[in-house]
Amino acid sequence: MAKYKLEYIWLDGYTPVPNLRSKTQVKEFDSFPSLEQLPIWGFDGSSTMQAEGRSSDCMLKPVSVHPDSTRRNGVLVMCEVMMPDGTTPHPTNTRATILDDPGAWFGFEQEYFLYQDGRPLGFPAEGYPAPQGPYYCGAGFKAVGDIARQIVEEHLDLCLDAGINHEGINAEVAKGQWEFQIFGKGSKRAADEVWVARYILNRLCEKYSIDVEYHCKPIRGDWNGSGMHANFSTDYLREKGGKTYFEALMAAFAENMEEHVAVYGPDNHLRLTGLHETQSIDKFTYGLADRGSSIRIPHSFVNNDYKGYLEDRRPNSQGDPYQIASRILKTISEVPTP
């Protein structure tokens, strides 16, 4: 029997953006534990805006398990928050709102800034660096610096060690801005892994005295904001599709525009301005390969008789992927298939 360090991770009750919380318990197992072997565990919800002090018990239900290569016998355990009975989802449990659909696939593109001393890495103490242009997918000290590259590479390795379906990294359009991509098959998997990847990144940056800034528009002016574009498909979109169904789907997205924007991350009006590769927050559009549209349609989708995946470019970097996936699937469910 070996002692394993189980790091239980969950989302607290703060709004409009929940914080990641974690705590460790040590348990003995014959080998690396499976999800089914991990116990439900309690915590003090009065310290996380999820309960009152006179009735503070909340429960953590494991939903995914990952090796943690930063610790000997380390285990990362993503959890959803339950009421004291252990079976009723807590009101803050946005994961529980997602329709279970094994045929739903999501790919999230998480953008973020790395901050030190109150400003993005590479920004001078006063003023601004050179305008945007050379930073996107750039190389060299002037474009990306040194410590940023080290952090994002280490984060990539840690995610791969954890078995997260991490699909890539790149420097983004603004100075000090980066992106990673997570893909998952099943309506909840990618969202689970985005939260774990965020946790790994936050924890990694502790040792560098650097903060991860997820706000969608931390720098005003002529600088790109940060999004979390949601690429999505279903069995029907991939296998049947068709122009008639696609147009009905876009009509449903247009009709539910406000409901989508409401859960696509706070302060999105600062980012969705119609500039910097965005559509205005009060408009819904779709276009072929158009990064200024609400929904970008890949050429491969149209060339394949309107089958494949679509990209919703409105979700922002602080968005909760559980809420984003939930809203997208709810809108899709309202469209009858021919």
Contact of 64 with 78, CB cutoff 8 Å: yes
pLDDT score of 215: 98
Q: Which pLDDT score is estimated for 338?
A: 79
End residue of a domain, out of 97, 119, 145: 97
**Does residue 83 sit in the same domain as residue 124?**
no
State residue 146's pLDDT score: 81
Q: Give the domain extent around 83.
A: 2-97
Report how far residue 49's alpha carbon sits from residue 178's, in angstroms, rounded to the nearest whole number: 31
Q: Is residue 338 part of a domain?
A: no
pLDDT for position 29: 97
297 shares a domain with 249:
yes
Q: Does residue 263 share a domain with residue 117?
A: yes
Q: What CATH number should be reported for the domain holding residue 128? A: 3.30.590.10
Burial classification of residue 110, based on how many CB atoms lie within 10 Å of its CB (0-12 exposed, 13-18 middle, 19 or more buried): buried
Q: pTM for this one?
A: 0.97
| 143 and 71 within one domain | no
Please say which residue of 97, 130, 151 terminates a domain. 97
pLDDT at 172: 96
Query: Taking the chain (338 residues) in consecutive chunks of 10 residues, what is each chunk's mean pLDDT?
Result: 97 97 98 98 97 94 98 98 97 97 98 96 92 94 90 98 97 96 98 98 97 96 95 98 97 98 97 93 96 96 98 98 98 94
Strand pairing class (2-11; 74-82):
parallel
Decide which of 66, 97, 128 is a domain's last residue.
97
> What CATH number has the domain bearing residue 64?
3.10.20.70
- Whether 277 is in a domain gets the answer yes
Residue 223 sits in the same domain as residue 301:
yes
Let me know whether 93 and 115 are in one domain.
no
